[in-house]
Amino acid sequence: MLSPYTPAYGLSMDGISAMYAFFSSYQMGQESANEQFVAGEMRNPNKHLPMALHSSMSIVLLLFVLANCAYFVVLSPEIVASSNTVALDFGRVVIGKFGAVVFSTLVAVSCFGALSNSFFTSESHIPF
């Protein structure tokens, strides 16, 4: 039986894991501050910012649920549970060896999108 002080699913809570959890949650809080920089550049932030936040979060949530449904339709639950790269396994099964390349590229584009978000919101801090 798990207690509130025991990590779930047999995970160990050593110092590295605790630091990783702390800095991940800290980064999450810092990323939410980016909306202030974007709102400063908008013409009517009281109208457009809530609309952008609600629509973008709804789209991301829908795509996330659909992607996970697709993973479980194509892959067995054992493969999903044991794999560190579920999207690559999905691509390999659906498209073949080229599918792993396609999904690796999509992950790289997604990371580039997150990086460009950081550049966009901190642009005023770059001295030009």
pLDDT mean over 4-31:
63
Among 82, 114, 88, residue whose Cα is nearest residue 102? 88
Any domain includes 48: yes
Any domain includes 23: yes
Higher pLDDT, 119 or 2: 119
> What per-residue confidence (pLDDT) applies to 121?
66
> What per-residue confidence (pLDDT) applies to 2?
46
Distance CA 24, CA 31 (A): 11
Give the domain range for residue 50: 14-125
Distance CA 40, CA 86 (A): 39
User: What is the total count of domains within the chain?
Assistant: 1
Any domain includes 104: yes
Any domain includes 5: no
pLDDT tens across 26-75, in order? 666 666 666 776 777 778 888 888 888 889 889 989 999 999 999 999 99
Any domain includes 1: no
Distance CA 40, CA 55 (A): 19
> What per-residue confidence (pLDDT) applies to 30?
61
pLDDT-derived band at 128 (thresholds 50, 70, 90) equals very low
Any domain includes 6: no
User: What percentage of the chain exceeds 70 in pLDDT?
Assistant: 67
Any domain includes 120: yes
Distance CA 58, CA 52 (A): 10
Any domain includes 89: yes
Distance CA 87, CA 93 (A): 10
Q: How much is the mean pLDDT over the chain?
A: 78
pTM metric for this prediction: 0.61
